[in-house]
Amino acid sequence: MKANENSHTSIIELFNNCDLAYSFKKKRLRYLRSASVSREILNLRDNFNTIWQRKGDLYYLKDSNLSSQGREIIQGLLGDDDSAMTILKINKGFAALDREQTAEFFQIHVSSGGAQKNLIAILFDGEDSLVNLACKQIPYFEQYMPTMKKISKMDPATLAFSQYDLDNILHFLSRFDAIQQNLSTDVLRYKEFGRDFFRLYRESAKIDVVGYGEISTVMQLNKKKHVGPDIVENESRWIWKKMPPFPDGDEVDRYLRLYEEYRNILTEGIGIGVPLQTTRFFKHDDFYQVYAGQERVKSESICNVMIKKLDEHSANSMLRIILKKLCDVYMFNIKNGAMTIGIDAQLSNWALDLKNWTKPEAAGDEVIVYIDTSSPMIRINGIEQLNPEIFIKSAASFLRPVIRRFFLQQVLDRYYDMRSVAIDIIANLHKEKRADLINSFIETTNEYYAQKNIDAEEITRKEIDSYYSNDAFIWNFYQASRKIDRFLTEKIARKRYMFRIPEKIER
């Protein structure tokens, strides 16, 4: 019987979500491996009944018998119920796979007959098949889920458990080695699966470079014409920004958390619209490559594209919408004190939804969204939450010490100062070939900030021109040094240069 498109919907959804679930499995496996070489796990397992004290119907850890490392092990191994739910959903998806239907799916989408047989074997054949490994994990995750939810919401220092929770933890510890072995085999088998499936499947798609930032490359995955269901169909709705390399999994985890947290603060805490976002990351020999994804917006709605078509009145109406958002950031930072948010508000980082696309006019009450959240700028008590080293990874290797010593802090600081942010917006009108708008933008900004009681000196035309001249020189020098670095890396050291460099950026 010929397979129809609808019969493969669940398979496509499963394989689309596998990478995320297995990233969570890898994280749990790291905790397991770390715990397995620690005395704490032996203490937790072998002295289980002596490290708890009962108060009423609940049991508490005795700090004198269990170090903070031991509490972190419990939280790391059994906490985070959100990721556990993702893993459980994927495991149930594997358990529900039909061998014949999956084989039909591979016949349509994987051109190599040998690869088709190998993929079926990895999924279904033997004790170490992905389906069998997933089936063994399901009852454990279902059993531990109530305890996971409790641990996720507790401070490790004040963990309080019922008898059921204690039984769960004891059962987990007694099965520790078997669970670790299962996860280790599962992760390895999935890597084998991905080696054939994702490499061959994605031959039906191509990657388009849709733009270059000063540091990052922006890409989009586009599917080619295809007669059947396509696993990249949903992927083509995203725009991907290739981030600088990350040194280890912990830095990746930190970035993923901050990437999501930054969006939540902007949308829920400040009221700035941000498109949906996601991430993908891949392990290479000695680094991780992260791609920050954001739902695509109309290219013609991006403000640096729109500014080329707007008259002076509409352009200033658009500016007032952006200034309103900057004032909201300013007030958020004033009220929160300990936590402050930075923002790179140049026109290319906003998308405006015009009411009438047949005639480019902005009235000042249109919906606007911020589209550059890939470098989450969050400070707590003045300390940058994203490792600042990430910002300079893409710089020429011989310049990094200089940037680190003399420029990095200055560059980061300006994104937290709303006057500096406004200067950057206005100065970039030179690059957008709309220098005719600079004087009116200066006047609009000074008036708006004065009305909103933003404590800032008036912006002048002289400092706008000086700022842009200096900024253009710095970025031209930065890109030239990267080309030298690429030459040294590829021609002298005979190594692969990891970054794409734009041929020329108009200024």
Least confident of 23-32, 252-261, 282-291, 396-405: 396-405
Q: Among residues of the chain, what percentage have pLDDT more than 70?
A: 72
Model pLDDT, residue 213: 57
Classify residue 223: in a domain, yes or no.
Answer: no
**178 and 309 share one domain:** no
pLDDT at residue 66 greater than cutoff 60: no
Least confident of 9-18, 197-206, 449-458: 197-206
Model pLDDT, residue 4: 46
**CA separation for the pair 243, 218 (Å, rounded):** 9
Largest CA distance in the chain: 77
Q: Give the model's confidence band at 115: pLDDT under 50 very low, under 70 low, under 90 confident, else very high.
A: confident
Mean pLDDT, range 262-278, rounded to an integer: 94
pLDDT at residue 128 greater than cutoff 80: yes
Highest mean pLDDT among 45-59, 275-289, 426-440 belongs to: 426-440
Mean pLDDT, range 146-156, rounded to an integer: 63
pLDDT at residue 353 greater than cutoff 80: yes
Number of domains in the chain: 2
**CA separation for the pair 18, 194 (Å, rounded):** 10
Helix (H/G/I), strand (E/B), else coil: 169: helix
Q: Give the model's confidence band at 349: pLDDT under 50 very low, under 70 low, under 90 confident, else very high.
A: very high
100's CB contacts (< 8 A; 6+ apart) are none
**CA separation for the pair 377, 27 (Å, rounded):** 25
Model pLDDT, residue 28: 81
Mean pLDDT, range 273-278, rounded to an integer: 92
Mean pLDDT, range 59-81, rounded to an integer: 58
* Beta carbons of 393 and 244 less than 8 angstroms apart: yes
**337 vs 228, which has greater pLDDT?**
337
Helix (H/G/I), strand (E/B), else coil: 372: coil
Model pLDDT, residue 492: 73
**190 and 290 share one domain:** no
**CA separation for the pair 389, 217 (Å, rounded):** 18
**197 vs 443, which has greater pLDDT?**
443
**422 and 289 share one domain:** yes
Classify residue 32: in a domain, yes or no.
Answer: yes
Classify residue 214: in a domain, yes or no.
Answer: no
**194 and 272 share one domain:** no
Instruction: Give the model confidence (pLDDT) of 41-52 as tens digits.
Output: 566 556 656 666
Interior angle at CA 128, CA 111 and CA 20, nearest 5? 65
Classify residue 228: in a domain, yes or no.
Answer: no
**CA separation for the pair 489, 497 (Å, rounded):** 6
**436 vs 202, which has greater pLDDT?**
436
Q: Give the model's confidence band at 379: pLDDT under 50 very low, under 70 low, under 90 confident, else very high.
A: very high
Classify residue 215: in a domain, yes or no.
Answer: no
Classify residue 226: in a domain, yes or no.
Answer: no
**169 and 267 share one domain:** no
Mean pLDDT, range 167-180, rounded to an integer: 76
Query: DSSP secondary structure string, 220-254?
Result: EEEE---SS--TTTTGGGEEEEEPPPBSSHHHHHH
Mean pLDDT, range 325-336, rounded to an integer: 94
Helix (H/G/I), strand (E/B), else coil: 301: helix
Q: Which two tokens stand for residue 74?
A: 């419990």
Q: Which two tokens stand for residue 321?
A: 């919408």
pLDDT at residue 405 greater than cutoff 80: no
Mean pLDDT, range 180-209, rounded to an integer: 74
pLDDT at residue 165 greater than cutoff 50: yes
**195 and 278 share one domain:** no
CA distances from 246 to 227, 233, 343, 391 (A): 38, 28, 22, 11
Tokens 């108060």, residue located = 55
pLDDT at residue 507 greater than cutoff 60: no
**CA separation for the pair 479, 461 (Å, rounded):** 27
Model pLDDT, residue 74: 60
Classify residue 423: in a domain, yes or no.
Answer: yes
Q: Give the model's confidence band at 469: pLDDT under 50 very low, under 70 low, under 90 confident, else very high.
A: confident
The count of C-alpha atoms lying within 13 angstroms of the C-alpha of 470, restricted to the half-sphere facing its C-beta, is 9
Least confident of 259-268, 356-365, 420-429: 356-365
Model pLDDT, residue 3: 42
**175 and 307 share one domain:** no
Of the candidates 155, 179, 203, which is a domain's last residue? Answer: 203
Name the phi and psi angles at 190, rounded to 5: -65, -35
**107 and 187 share one domain:** yes
Q: Give the model's confidence band at 417: pLDDT under 50 very low, under 70 low, under 90 confident, else very high.
A: very high
**183 and 330 share one domain:** no
**Which alpha helices (H) appear in 205-347, and where do they start and end?**
249-264, 303-306, 312-336
**190 and 270 share one domain:** no
Structural domain boundaries enclosing 70: 5-203
Q: Give the model's confidence band at 5: pLDDT under 50 very low, under 70 low, under 90 confident, else very high.
A: very low
**199 and 249 share one domain:** no
pLDDT at residue 10 greater than cutoff 70: yes
Model pLDDT, residue 121: 93
**248 and 198 share one domain:** no
Classify residue 262: in a domain, yes or no.
Answer: yes
Evaluate if pTM is beyond 0.75.
no
**232 vs 121, which has greater pLDDT?**
121
Q: Hey, which residues does 339 pair with through a beta bridge? A: 380
Q: Which two tokens stand for residue 123?
A: 């999924």
pLDDT at residue 159 greater than cutoff 70: no
Instruction: Give the model confidence (pLDDT) of 230-249 as tens digits.
Output: 444 455 678 888 888 888 88
Model pLDDT, residue 443: 96
Name the phi and psi angles at 8, rounded to 5: -105, 5
Q: Which two tokens stand for residue 155?
A: 């401070």
Q: What is the mean pLDDT of the chain?
A: 79
